[in-house]
Structure 1
Amino acid sequence: MKIRTCRIEGFGIFNEWTLAGLPDGLTVIYGDNEAGKSTLLAFLRGVLFGFPPRSGGEEQYAPLRGGRFGGSLEIDLPSGIYRVERTSTRRARRFTLLRPDGTQGEDEGELRRLLGGADASLFKSVFAFDLAELSQLQQLSRSEIANSIFSAGIAGGGRPARSVLDVLDKEAQQLLKPKGSAKINELVAEMKQVRAGIERARSASATYPEVLAAESDAGAEIARLKDEIGRHEGQRRRLARLVEYWPVENDRRQLGNQLAGLDVVDDFPPDPHARLASALAALSSAEAAARTANASLSECAAARRKLAPDDRLQAVAPQVSALAEAITLQRERLRQKARNAIAIEGSERDVRSANGNLGPGWTEQAVLSFDRSLPVVETVRGWQQQLDRAASAAAEARRNMLAANDEETRFEQRLAPLESQLQRQRAGTAAEFEPILAAAEALDGRTAADARRALGELRAAEGRLDGLVRSEADARGRLQRALIGSSSDRLKDESVALRRIRTR
């Protein structure tokens, strides 16, 4: 392992301090007292093996010049360059290992494996030691120094090799103890279990070809399922994209339909972009003017609130309120006057129309002076009844006339073929067609008599109808005059209302 770069964020007297470009081989760091040599050594140990706990009594090297406690080291290993970072706060401590491939980890066991299992004691005894630790080595002889270095290399932490050999002898006695639960007996029992497992494995190896074939079939099935999963996954992604893009497509279709429904603009105005920019500028100006107006309004309102009321205005306030109410009432009267004028004009049109329906010579004065006594009303009712009876008789006469016309038409239809046949046969022998001629003359005589009788009845009905029509016209005239009398009260009321409105 080689340390390439040391970067301290905050540790003792160091703050945002970096040491880079360390060469291969032995590195000696020297300086004056309190220059930070021991602090730098403590930082190297702390980053690689962890900072000492606050409750352990060891020096903590709190940052004296600010910065976050901790920093990072770049170490060069056979597998690449790693960056080890350790920081600490009041709440938690953080460890990060940045690998050569750019990934990160937080497992300190991975760092221990990278360091070959070396611990803080081994590092302190062999690889990095301070002046006090070096003075301890100076007090030893050459053989003792060699033994110390050898012991540190095989045991770590400066432990002597003799103590290591004693531990190994003790473990050998435990393994080979003839009585009791020796470790070797446990290993023999475990070996027997392993052998039994091997026998079972050999027995199971007989079915290896079948298992291999089943494994091959399973592999083929797995491959097929993977292909199917791939197809379904592709279809799922496609459907997911369709679902994602559907709102956009729906909006596009709606906009297309709206665009298709718009009228085609043959003469598009020139320079639309310039006109749009001008319109937007005008809109911005209008908005600015509106904001200015609102600000002025707010200032006016604030100024109005600051104004003190005048006592003289308080004195005339009742009169102003009364005048305001009078103005409201007067405005309502003016609106009512306009509505009355429209009503008067409509009533005058109705009066003129009613006088025109009564006939020439009828005026408002004539209507007001018409006799509306009870005898006249009863006489009008009698005329109305006669008029209804005359109308019923006229309707009956019309129905009889229509029936006579139908009968005459049927007689003419029956007579026409006989006359035609008679004319065709007159050129033949008279004796041969004598019965036919006699029948035709008899039929013709009856038909003519019926026709003359029907014609007489028709003429009589027409005479009666003319009389009924004249009676109806006479009765309508008398009824109209009577109705004028019965409606004169309403006309008088309307005339009086008109006079009142005109007076107002």
Structure 2
Amino acid sequence: MRFERLTVERFGHFESLDIDLPGGPGLVVLYGPNEAGKTTLLRALHGLLFGVDDRTPYAFEYDYRAIALRAVLRDSAGQRLHVTRLKKRKDSLAGSLHSEAGEVPLDGPRFARYFGAITEELYRAIFGFTHADLQQGSDVLQVAGLAELLGGGALGGSAEKIRGALAGLQSESEGLFKAKGKNPAINRGLTQLRDAKLALRDAMFAQPQYAALTTNLAAARHDADAAEHELARLREREARLRTLLGVFEDFHEHLGLVRALADPSLRTDLDEPSAERARQRHAEFTTADNQLRALDAELARLLARADQPAADPALLAEAAAVERLVRRVEAVAEQRLVVPRERERLARETDALESILATMSPGHALKTMSDGSSSRTSSTACAPSPPAGSAPARS
């Protein structure tokens, strides 16, 4: 078969490439500079004939599902084949066969019969090889299946020519070099090169000097190896010391905690249920104290807004907003009447809690809690409270 037209779409860095090839006899050469896409075009040709690899490396710019390879070919009978290869797991090839009798569909199995016994690996090794494959020489033939080639089943009876060419190449290579030979040209050249190196060494260094340099080199290598081992040992010791230092710090902290827990002032006669109740009361007290602080802050903010000077005429225009504000101030004033009672209740609960704790553990009253409550009571008691039933004046 001969190619008449090749189209590569979204393969490698090619978005759309059309190549028209002459259909007559002869060899067609496609050439270009490095990185022009010659290897990519060769891999596209492999994908068209045998299918695109599932993990093709040529989908780096376009999605692999968008790859499309098309070609127009002419077989030995003069029939024209139009084929299209897509990146699919099944039925990836579709096409048609045009002849004088008409047009018939062309699928993958029918298209594969054109290749006979030539597999994809054999095609890549014999027909579609790269420059790197060409440099490997006869090894490519061995990988492709030398026995099959020599049998003539793959190349149509050209085994004798291949065998003769291989024999000639083997004879020529043995005439140039043998692994244990002396007469071939390369062996003679290697022998002369070795003799020249020995002569050069003898000319540059006397034997005692060479021996001294060799000894010094061996000693230097020995010292370097010893230093490397010592460095590894020191690094291992450093890592161990760092680990021990971290453990020592944790152990030191542990000893400090043990000494702190051994303080007689921390001992208590409380059992676990009583201690749990004390923690719950303390949490309730903290929550109530936070709520009281929030109410005091809101009350102070609203009182400050209520004590502002009379609104100007521009403010009177916002009567509805002022009315809503007055209702909020009234609600806060009502809450302000409730605050003293809440403080008294909180003081009573605090005293009861201190009594319970004093009973459970004599000499360990909640001094911090009582001091905080006294300071808040004294600070809030200084603020004047409006008489009962009074309300801020409306504008």
Give the TM-score normalised by structure 1.
0.26
More helix by share: 1
Larger Rg: 1
Q: Answer 1 or 2: higher relative contact order, Cα 8 Å, separation at least 6.
A: 1
